[in-house]
Amino acid sequence: MIAAEDLIALVRNYNPRTNADLISAAFDYGREMHEGQFRKSGEPYFTHPVAVAAILTEQQLDDATIVTALLHDTIEDTRSTYSEVQARFGTEIADLVDGVTKLTNLQLASSETKQAENFRKLFMAMSRDLRVILVKLADRLHNMRTIRAMKPDKQVQKARETMEIYAPLAGRMGMQWMRDELEDLSFRVLNPEGRTSIMRRFITLQKEAGDVIHRITSDMIHELEKVGIEAEVFGRAKKPYSIWRKMQEKQIGFSRLSDIYGFRVITRTEAECYAALGAIHQRWRAVPGRFKDYISQPKSNGYRSIHTTVSGRDGKRVEVQIRTRQMHDVAETGVAAHWSYRDGVRSENPFAVDPAKWIASLTEQFDGEDDHHEFMEAVKLEMYSDQVFCFTPKGDVVKLPKGATPLDYAYQIHTRIGSACVGAKVDGIRVPLWTRLKNGQSVEIITAEGQTPQATWLDIARTGKAKTAIRRALREANKERYARLGHELARSAFESVGKKATDKVLEKAASRLRLEDAETLLARLGSAELSARAVVEAVYPDLAPRDTAEVELKRAVLGLAHGQGFERARCCQPLPGERIVGITHRGQGVMVHAIDCAALAAVEDQPDRWLDLHWAEGSHPPVYTVSLDLTIGNDAGVLGRICTLIGERKANISDLQFVDRKPDFYRLLMDVDLRNAEHLHSVVSALDAESNVASVDRRRMPDLAAPDDTAAAAE
């Protein structure tokens, strides 16, 4: 195993100002934590984190990354904790180690490629800091280099994962050498015969054609010298895996595969790149369609190079990449170049991309938010920022659009879970349903029997799936309620003209109004699309009450003795159109209650105090106050819309009182002056239809009337 001093020396090579004490402390702490643990190979476990750190020194990474590598398995596999790492090494390193731990805990559910792409996205999204991915990639590289110690089936699983997830990830981050090595190590495990046969072909080829690489290299150097370009030229046979892939893609055999060699020309200046290109194209024939200029149009990860393929007289093709030394460094290290040190200072390579800018370029299409600046400031990775990845308590990944709430998550799991949702816990803490979920959070949904989707949920849900399910449930619930209300309205409307709303009568009304059946009629009536008067008129045109027959308030109630005053009971607030009963009070006249008022129980045993009363027929002035109990969303303007709705229905709000202000909901009591039950119904229906109204109930307050009646009963 590499000793602490050796590791520090490796870092000091490129960063003389390294914090040797910090690295040494991390080394000691990591070794202590992993004490007694061993790798499959039998070596002490700590050799692994040290090897990972050494790999990262090759990329000349900063101290925080090296220390993270030394500690990357402590939180996961030892008694160490986040807070302890934080206390000893600071928040930056604790967060990095925590990030690596989270990535380690992700399990690839299936090996399907589609899933792999999602997984790669998840991986990126999860890592708020790119250094987390750099450590994870080095971790995987070391594990792949030492994979032979594992059981064969485990080897295959790891190799497949590496091929699908880690190698493309390394490529995407611009670390070509790492991609190549990861692919080759996986290829050895997944298809040893394929790899061996390609290696064997190389040897045969070399015997036939001699040292092709050496010959072409000298030729190239010669051509470049002729035009005064001093350049380094490197040639190499392509990696067995990339040859094998090409054979698979093109369905051709090795003998017909022409460009198996690649050459790199490293020049001193950018101008020399183009001059070199000219010289090479003059000497060899360029293969059409293979030229790419990534110098004038660099890749988003900072990659710059000129690519071309040329063929010699024998028809053999070779690929040539031309770039400067600085461009070459970026091509090898990719985005990691940002953290690289040269002679003790962060490298000043003009081509190294700022990871924040790189990420921004990838996310530009999703970004339009005002936090863009902040996003650029912090070197945070929010790739695929149109998506949020959360976890179930079991650790499964749930993909949601940005801005999604626990409600969306619940519906994503199952419509049944969504419908029964009463609350949510995020990372173990209870949160309101409108909370926006963030990457990597684990979400638990609390459900309750009897819960049904609420209208306000439409404003909380972001996904189409949740909204559709909520709307459907609300429609179903409304249909039922409307039919019930419609039935009640029809009953009282017919009763008010001395008739009964029998099935037969209702069917007749339906057919005269050209409606499908009585059920449709009741639903329309209930949803206030149809007035009760119109229904009565359809069957009894002559009996329908006249609009113009204004009844004086005094004479609103029939059945009272001459001069007897009356008062509407505050407990039940009966409305014209509802069945009523009068209770006499000594010296106070008559209290008018709804027939189903709970307060009547108190006078049940005094039948002589009961009076049969009826509302006068015809239209009443809007003077009957009813208290409504409303729960509304707290969005701006909701209250205004509600007042408008009520005003439009010619009802007057006489009092308004907030009883409960929760962050997401307001509960309020609203007194509305109305003409009759039908009027009330039209107001309630309108409120119900407003998506920001979670619930609207008529308030019954039996306690309000009880003292008076109880006192009377006690006499």
- Neighbouring CB atoms inside 10 A of 169's CB total 22
From the CB of 141, what's the least distance to Mn ion, in Å? 10
CA–CA separation, 694 and 655 (whole Å): 20
Closest CB to Mn ion among 158 and 467? 158
Q: Which residue is nearest to Mn ion (CB)?
A: 139
Active site residue 77: yes
Task: Report the interface residues with Mn ion, using CB under 5 A.
Answer: 73, 139
| CA R_g for the chain | 40
Q: How far apart are CA 132 and CA 619, in angstroms?
A: 75
Q: Identify which of residues 139 and 708 has a Cβ nearer to Mn ion in the complex.
A: 139
Least distance CB 34 / Mn ion (angstroms): 10
Running DSSP on this structure, what letter comes out for residue 612?
E
Distance, CA of 535 to CA of 546 (rounded, Å): 14
Minimum separation from the CB atom of position 345 to Mn ion (A): 30
| Nearest Cα to Cα of residue 401 among 448, 437, 351 | 437
Of the candidates 508, 556, 569, 574, the one whose C-alpha atom is nearest the C-alpha of residue 535 is 508
- Encode burial over 7-25: b for 16+ CB neighbours within 10 A, e otherwise: bbebbbebbeebbbebbeb
Who's near 43: CB < 8 A, 6+ residues apart? 1
Closest to 584 (Cα-Cα) out of 576, 593, 575 = 593
139 vs 272 by CB, closer to Mn ion:
139
User: Tokens for 669?
Assistant: 């009591």
Looking at the Cβ atoms of 41 and 644, the one nearer to Mn ion is 41
φ/ψ of residue 539, rounded to 5: -95, -45
- Smallest gap, in angstroms, from Cβ of residue 105 to Mn ion? 12
* Alpha-carbon gap, residue 400 to 121, rounded angstroms: 13
For residue 404, count other CB atoms closer than 10 A to its CB.
24
CB of 162 to Mn ion, least distance (A): 14
Residue type, 503: D
Task: State the maximum Cα–Cα separation within the chain, in Å, rounded to a whole number.
Answer: 127
For the bound state, the minimum distance from the C-beta of residue 35 to Mn ion, rounded and expressed in Å, comes to: 16
- Active-site entry in 43, 58, 76, 617: 76
Residue with tokens 């595969």: 257
Shorter beta-carbon distance to Mn ion: residue 73 or 95: 73
Residue 71 or 231 with smaller CB distance to Mn ion: 71
Q: Which of 181/507 has CB closer to Mn ion?
A: 181
CB of 176 to Mn ion, least distance (A): 23
The encoded tokens of residue 643 equal: 């007042």
From CA 269, how far away is CA 85, in angstroms rounded?
46
The residue (of 139 and 678) whose beta carbon lies closer to Mn ion is 139
* Residues in contact with 698: Cβ distance below 8 Å, sequence separation at least 6, in sequence order: 573, 626, 627, 628, 629, 680, 684
Query: Residues 390, 398: contact at Cβ < 8 Å?
Result: yes
Instruction: For residue 614, give the 3-state DSSP assignment.
Output: strand
Q: Which is nearer to Mn ion, 75 or 522 (CB)?
A: 75
Kindly state the smallest distance separating residue 129's Cβ from Mn ion, in Å: 18
Residue 72 beta carbon to Mn ion: minimum distance, rounded to whole angstroms:
6
In this structure, are strands 624-633 and 693-698 parallel, antiparallel, or unpaired? antiparallel
Sheet holding 566-568, edge to edge: 557-558, 610-615, 580-585, 589-594, 566-568
Which residue of the set 35, 62, 63, 77 is catalytic? 77
Q: Which of 651, 646, 654, 653 is nearest to 690 (CA)?
A: 646
Nearer of residues 45 and 665 to Mn ion, judged by Cβ: 45
CB of 687 to Mn ion, least distance (A): 59
The three-state secondary structure class of 383 is coil
Nearer to Mn ion, 73 or 272 (CB): 73
> Which H helix or E strand runs over 236?
strand 232-237
CA-wise closest residue to 577 among 494, 696, 671, 499: 494
Min dist CB 119 to Mn ion, Å, is: 18
- SS3 state of residue 477: helix
Between CA 44 and CA 639 the distance in angstroms is 68
Give 72 or 317: the residue with its C-beta nearer to Mn ion. Answer: 72
How long is the chain?
A: 715
Residue reference for tokens 């692994």: 48
Tell how strand 317-324 and strand 610-615 pair up. Answer: unpaired
With H, G, I as helix, E, B as strand and everything else as coil, classify residue 189.
Answer: helix
Is-contact 326 350, C-beta < 8 A? Answer: yes
Question: What tokens does 192 get?
Answer: 């040893």
Active-site residue set: 76-77
